[in-house]
Structure formats: structure tokens, C-alpha cells
Amino acid sequence: MLAEIGVGSIEELFADIPENVRLRSPLALDSPRAEQEVFEELRVLAGRNVSVENEVSFLGGGMYDHYVPAVVDAITQRSEFLTPYTPYQPEVSQGTLQAMFEYQTAICELTGMPVANASVYEGPSAVAAAGYVAKLDNSRSRFAVSRGVHPHAREALATLARAWGMEVVEVPLSDGVTAPPELDSDTSALVVQQPNFLGAVEDLDALAASARETGALTICSCDPIALGILKPPGECGVDLAVGEGQPLGGRLDFGGPSFGFFASTEALLRRLPGRIAGETRDQDGWRGFVLTLQTREQHIRRERATSNICTAQALNALGGVIYLSWLGRGGIGELSELLVRRTAYARERLAEIDGVSLANTQPVVREFAVTLKAPVAGVIERCAERGINPGYPLGRDYPELEDGLLVALTERRTRSDIDRLAEVLGAAIAAGREVAESRA
């Protein structure tokens, strides 16, 4: 096999793998064991995991512990939705195509954009794909990316931008929101997030207007639940509205699988990645559905393709449209208002704790950043011992917020949960400060 592909040795085959991640010792495999013994060991290992079902979690940052109604599983687990392949033949794929069409319609209504595709992998890759659409549209050489955009999305865009020969410049934050960007004629797109990673609501109208002044596109990564109360990006002058679909009927299953939603202005329709399902009439006048647009490289000439995505996470997207239908137009607004009230209460309660201060005072919807006067890792560990996950340590991604904690709310976190968080967090901070003082 090595000779056939023109490689002299196994080492040469693996030459591109960094030395520090190569295994230089034999696999540490025990002697063969019975299936029952293997099952018992795996069960013990699995028992070490902690889920949102056995702790009160205030984790957020893109993935949220929302209630998933039974109807989502009841429909997505039906065989006609669970098992079908890509709908290459519309005459035998009407159910799948209709589900895609209804999903696209829901995303358009949610974002206020006229066009949506049938979904992509997840939120960060949706941001990167939107960057490629901007590159194709104006052939410019630079992305301006707000520091308030999800770190994973910034990394995904930077990785692909390098392959495209494009520069990525960071737009800093000022008091928790994106500072007025300095753009020029080389800027292909301004990339922002609404609300941003720190939970703050951005002035999307002003940011999009600043991009338009230089002819750049505006890419906005949105929290879909927050759009139940915030002005839709389509009404703010945004060109591409994308985001993470996990909050729409998805669970926290080790970070996935989920789906990414992707919507745009009509001018960018033919540059969208993936595929778009359309509505039509058959020869007898009956309503029907077809694949209207396919921009994957396996469907058209490679040099004209805007995507090599080979799946659209369609089953998860179906769960998303089921969830939105279950909520309804009024329901998503009520949910968003509930989150605003509970987040405001949590922000107020935590700000009262000695050793806690707000990272900024900007308006928020579902999460907010605080700074702690105690080592964050130790505080999280002490809270975990009492069955509370207090939030996400911001120092992982923002060195300037080494003492920062991102706290997120969903409808599953009650006022009593928030009061317990305040109690446990206050005690954990006090204990952390005592430890630090004793060491000093």
C-alpha cells in the first residue's frame, strides 16, 4: 500500500502529524475480557460524568440548557425523518423537502431576512461560511471581527481566512460592546455577534451602518432565542445573519450535534452554501417541493462551488422548526421576556455579593459577565461540590478577564435556583479569599 501511494514508510506517511501528539509506546490494552465486564467498566466510567440533570447549571456561551418538549423527539424519531438520505429525487422526497422549506421559512421570519438555506453544521462554521460568501461577493482582502464574537467562531473564520489569503483584524470591546470599527476599502466584512459573547446587546444598526459606509458586508451571529425580543438583524441592515441552532430544541449532548442557521439578503442568494428547498406546483397544480439551489462542489463545477458541506444537519434543523412551531410567534417572545426578567434578577443578586462585580453595565438578554475577587477555578470547584455549576470561566478566552465568569439563564433556572447560586457562589468566593490570604 505504501508503495502504491509513493510513500517509503509509515513514519513518512505520518510526517505531517506533530511529534508531540504521536504515540511512541504500545497501546495500553488489558487482556481480553468478557462483554459483561467491559460493560460494567464503561458504566462506572460513564457514572463519573455530570450532566445538567444532576446539577444546577448556569453554563452558556452558545450552548444552553433549555427545556426540550416531547414533541421534538416524537417527530424527529419517526423513521421517515430519521432515516432518509439526501433528497436527490424530489418525487420521492416530498416530506424531507417540505420540512426543509418550512425550516427555511421559520429562519427567515426569525431573522427578518428574505432568504435562508437548509442549515449548515453549527454556529462557528456558519460564521466562517458567511465570511466566504463576503469574500466571493466583493473580493476584498480583510475581515474585521469583533472581540465579542464567540471565540470558536473567530477561530474557525481565522483558519479558513488563512487559506483564502485574507487578513483578520480584531475590533476591540469598549465597556463590554464592540467599539466603533475602523474600516477601509479593503474590508470585506464586519463580523459581530448579537448579543455578544459577554452577553451584552450590541448597537447593530450603528455597526451595520459603519460597514455600509465602506462598502463592506455585515455578518451577524445571532442567538435565536434572543431574537424573540431584539430587533431582527434584517431590519438593522445586516447582510448575513447566521448562528448556532442548539437552543432551538437541542440538548446539551457533549456539545453536539446541533445545526447552524444561515440567512441572507436576496442579493447574496446564489452565493449561499449548501442548498435551498423551494415551493412549486406539479403538472396537475398540486403544491410540491424541489431543491431550488445546490452550491456544493459535488453538484456543480468545483470552481463555482461555495460549499463542500456534505450534510446540512437536517434532522437537527427539523427539531429546530418543530420547537419554533411549538413555541409559536407569541411563545418565543414570552420566553425571551422571561429570560430578560430572570437574568436581571440574577445580575442584581450576584452584584450584591461581596467579591462580585459586574464586568459591564450594558443591557443583556440571557447571560452576563461578572468578575470575582477570588481564583475562578477554585470558586467553580467549590460550587460544583454543592451541586452548582456557576458559569463559564472567561479567562480561557479573554486573558484580560482572568477573574471573569459568564453566567447564563434559561427558563429551567428558577428564582430559587438563582438564590441558591448567590448563596453558594458567595460562600465559595469567601472560602477562596481565605485560602489566598492564608497563603499570603
Cα-based distances in Å from 407 to 134, 375, 424: 33, 16, 14
Q: Are strands 177-178 and 115-116 parallel, antiparallel or unpaired?
A: unpaired
Residues 30-60 pLDDT 10s: 788 899 999 999 999 999 988 888 899 999 9
**pLDDT value for 433:** 81
Cα-based distances in Å from 338 to 300, 333, 412, 415, 425: 46, 9, 11, 11, 23
User: Which of 124-128, 149-153, 279-283, 333-337 shows the lowest per-residue confidence on average (mean pLDDT)?
Assistant: 279-283
Rounded CA gap, 358 and 220, in Å? Answer: 25
**pLDDT value for 295:** 62
Contact 350, 425 (CB under 8 A): yes
Q: Which residue has the higher pLDDT, 25 or 40?
A: 40
Q: Read off the pLDDT of each residue in 205-220 and give the average, rounded to a whole number.
A: 97
**pLDDT value for 51:** 86
State the alpha helices, DSSP H only, in 47-168.
Answer: 70-76, 79-82, 94-111, 123-138, 151-164
Residues 152-198 pLDDT 10s: 999 999 999 999 999 999 999 999 999 999 999 999 999 999 999 99
Q: What is the number of other CB atoms lying within 10 angstroms of the CB of residue 243?
A: 32
User: Which of 88-92, 270-274, 303-307, 427-431 shows the lowest per-residue confidence on average (mean pLDDT)?
Assistant: 303-307
Cα-based distances in Å from 320 to 45, 56, 75, 76, 150: 32, 24, 11, 10, 21
On average, the pLDDT of the chain sits at: 92
**pLDDT value for 400:** 94
Q: Which of helix, strand or coil describes residue 122?
A: coil
Contact 432, 361 (CB under 8 A): no
Portion of the chain with pLDDT greater than 70, in percent: 95
Domains of the chain: residue spans and CATH: 56-66+329-439 (3.90.1150.10), 70-324 (3.40.640.10)
Q: What is the number of other CB atoms lying within 10 angstroms of the CB of residue 365?
A: 24
Contact 116, 104 (CB under 8 A): yes
Q: Which residue has the higher pLDDT, 358 or 27?
A: 358
Q: Which residue has the cell 510526517?
A: 15
Q: Report pTM.
A: 0.89
**pLDDT value for 89:** 77
